[in-house]
Amino acid sequence: MFGFVLINTVVLYRQALAAADTAYDRTLLATAKSLGEQLVLVGSGAQAQVQSSLLYSALEAFETDNRSRIFYRVNDFSGAMVTGFEDLPAVRKQLPEQKIYAALVHFYDDQYRGVPVRMAVLLQPVAGADTQGMATIQVAETLELRETLARQILIDTLWRQAALVIVIALVVVFVVQRATRPVRALSLALASRGENELTPLPTEGAPRELLPLVEATNQHMQRLSQLLEHQKRFVRDTSHQLRTPLAVLKTQVQSARRGDVEPLLALEEIGHTVERATELANQMLALAKVEQLRQETDAPVVDWADALRSVGLDLAPLIAERALDFSMDVCPARVRAHEWALRELSRNLLHNAIKNTPEGSRLAVTLVRDARTAALTISDSGPGISAALRERLFQPFATDPQRAGAPGSGSGLGLAICHGVTLSLGGSIDLVNRETHGQVLGLDATVRLPLAST
């Protein structure tokens, strides 16, 4: 607005000057005509001369408010001066045939005695008995009165424009303050929250323009809340689960130092404890890595069948140790996932199946695909899962109180890892008891993942 007012001020001042020129040029024209009326032709023929009976004092009536002065000069037919100010500048250019007034008059700006003036040039016909011609009348007026009028018009207009700008500024301040009041209230609500408070912001009463921001903030806080809860649960579970093997390891070391146990037996017990603690720590780290996996969106395309074969070779000694009737029937299935995630998913499912399958029993692994998904099914011959355990099946270290200590009585971390990996890859996991006539013959663990688009 200030820039517009500045530009408008310059334009307005020029327009005011033009309007003042138009108005006061009438005075100059009237002065020139008055001079023309006082011209007479004396003599005849080639001896005819133009004379004027006008006194300079007669022009005082045209000098308004004594703030501007008028100068004049009259030239005869040949251009010689008849009367007036001899040093008044001559006509600068060819006069036009007609202008804004119905007379042979021309107006322009000039300099006289170092002062800017407005010049009017009038061609005045002068006729005698046998001679006639055109006399040239020049009238110049200083610009004080014109500039004063233009400034007065400008000042009067600027006051109104200033008042308009002030009104606009007040309206803008009021509207902006009123419009941004919900934003300030939202900012205050966020600033006054505790460092761990991640409850959703209320959406009731929020302006329609702020609803997307509030909803996006709530979604972000929900993700932060889940991440924070996952970290708390990880620290809690890690401290709880590692405390027991570390305490056992400490007791075994103390017992070996005292000589309560044979050295070889003590080393064997310590080795088993370290192995269990290492396996638990690796699972806890894998579970923590699953949360990072959910945030990644640029996973490569890999063949699930290759990951299954690699996991089968890694666990082959354990399968052979339990003398299982093992079979693997897989087909190529390209999915978008990190190879680590597929190996961890397949390893945990197969390892759980091996532990829960009685020695010499059947264990089958199949990987099939259709137009959209690939399905991995691991069928063991174990006791299956109880209804009590199914409710907390994918929670870390979930146990069945009715079968404590028995095979299949708990899920540990393996199923929690499988569940997290499957969800991060956009798939689903189901564990269903395989029954015949009400008798459980084993458990089918099925994971479905979407195929990668080519």
Q: Are residues 310 and 441 in the same domain?
A: yes
Average pLDDT estimate for 185-205: 80
Q: Are residues 270 and 350 in the same domain?
A: no
State the total domains in the chain: 3
Residue where a domain terminates, one of 153, 181, 203: 153
pLDDT of residue 170: 93
pLDDT of residue 5: 80
Inter-residue contact 429 to 379 (CB < 8 Å): no
Q: Are residues 39 and 121 in the same domain?
A: yes
pLDDT of residue 379: 93
Inter-residue contact 143 to 70 (CB < 8 Å): no
Average pLDDT estimate for 51-56: 67
Q: Are residues 80 and 107 in the same domain?
A: yes
pLDDT of residue 188: 84
pLDDT of residue 101: 43
Q: Are residues 290 and 311 in the same domain?
A: no
Q: Are residues 340 and 229 in the same domain?
A: no
Kindly report, residue by residue over 312-343, the tens digit of the pLDDT.
998 898 899 989 999 999 999 999 888 888 88
Kindly report, residue by residue over 58-67, the tens digit of the pLDDT.
555 555 555 6
Q: Which of 246 and 401 is assigned the larger pLDDT?
A: 246
Residue where a domain terminates, one of 261, 277, 294: 294
The answer to whether residue 89 scores a pLDDT higher than 50 is yes
Task: Answer whether residue 206 is part of any domain.
Answer: no
Q: Are residues 386 and 420 in the same domain?
A: yes
Q: Are residues 141 and 24 in the same domain?
A: yes
Residue where a domain terminates, one of 108, 133, 153: 153
Q: Are residues 76 and 138 in the same domain?
A: yes
Strand partners, 75: 81, 136
For Cα atoms 402, 403, 406, give the angle at the middle one, nearest 5 degrees.
Answer: 170
- pTM of the full predicted structure? 0.48
The answer to whether residue 109 scores a pLDDT higher than 90 is no
Distance CA 48, CA 77 (A): 10
pLDDT of residue 237: 67
Task: Answer whether residue 203 is part of any domain.
Answer: no
Q: Are residues 87 and 51 in the same domain?
A: yes
CATH code of the domain containing 390: 3.30.565.10
Report the Cα 184 to chain-centroid distance in Å: 19
pLDDT of residue 382: 87
CATH code of the domain containing 72: 3.30.450
Instruction: Identify the sign of the CA torsion 200, 203, 205, 211.
Output: positive
Percent helix / strand / coil, the chain, rounded to 5: 50, 25, 25
- Per-residue pLDDT band for 437 (boundaries 50, 70, 90) equals confident
The answer to whether residue 226 scores a pLDDT higher than 70 is yes
Q: Are residues 19 and 93 in the same domain?
A: yes
Kindly report, residue by residue over 131-140, the tens digit of the pLDDT.
777 888 888 9
The answer to whether residue 375 scores a pLDDT higher than 80 is yes
Could you tell me where the beta strands, DSSP code E, fall in 268-372? Answer: 301-303, 325-330, 334-336, 362-369
Owning domain of residue 220: 211-294
The answer to whether residue 169 scores a pLDDT higher than 80 is yes
pLDDT of residue 446: 94
pLDDT of residue 99: 46
